[in-house]
Homo-oligomer: A and B are copies of this chain.
Amino acid sequence: MPQLGLLPRRTWVTLLSQLLRPPRAACISAVGCHSQVAEALLTSQPKPHQEKPNFIIKIPKGTRDLSPQQMVVREKILDMVVSCFKRHGAKGLDTPAFELTEMLTEKYEEHSGLMYDLKDQGGELLSLRYDLTVPFARYLAMNKLKKMKRYQVGKVWRRESPTIVQGRYREFCQCDFDIAGHFDPMIPDAECLKIMCEVLSGLQLGDFLIKVNDRRVVDGMFAVCGVPESKFRAICASMDKLDKMSWRDVRHEMVAKKGLAPEVADRIGEYIQCHGGVSLIEQLFQDPRLSQNKQALEGLGDLKLLFEYLTLFGIAEKICFDLSLARGMDYYTGVIYEAVLLQTPAQAGEEPLNVGSVAAGGRYDELVATFDPKGHKVPCVGLSIGIERIFYIVEQRMKNSFKKVRTTETQVFVATPQKNFLRERLKLIAELWDAGIKAEMLYKNNPKLLTQLHYCENTGIPLVVIIGEQEQKEGVIKLRSVASREEVAIKRENLVAEIQKRLSES
A residues in contact (CB < 8 Å) with B? 33-34, 37-38, 41, 44, 46, 49-53, 55, 57-61, 63-68, 70-72, 74-75, 86-100, 103, 116-121, 123-124, 126, 128, 138-139, 141-144, 150, 155, 157, 159, 171, 179, 181, 183-184, 187-188, 190-191, 194, 198, 309, 312-314, 371-375, 407-410, 422-423, 426-427, 430, 433-434, 436-440, 443-445
Contact = CB atoms under 8 A, between A and B. Distances in A.
Contact of A93 (B65, B87, B443): B65
Contact of A408 (B51, B74, B91, B407): B91
A139 B71 CA distance: 14
Contact of A444 (B72, B184, B408): B184
Nearest to A94: B66
Contacts of A445: 184, 187
Given A68-B91, A117-B119, A194-B433, 13 more contacts: A37-B144, A41-B373, A58-B100, A60-B98, A60-B126, A66-B92, A67-B143, A86-B409, A87-B433, A87-B436, A89-B438, A116-B119, A312-B427
Contact of A63 (B34, B98, B141): B98
Contacts of A159: 121, 123
Given A57-B103, A60-B124, A426-B190, A92 B68 contact: yes
A103 B52 CA distance: 13
B374 A34 contact: no
A380 to B, nearest CB: 12
B374 A60 contact: no
A427 to B, nearest CB: 5
A312 B434 CA distance: 13
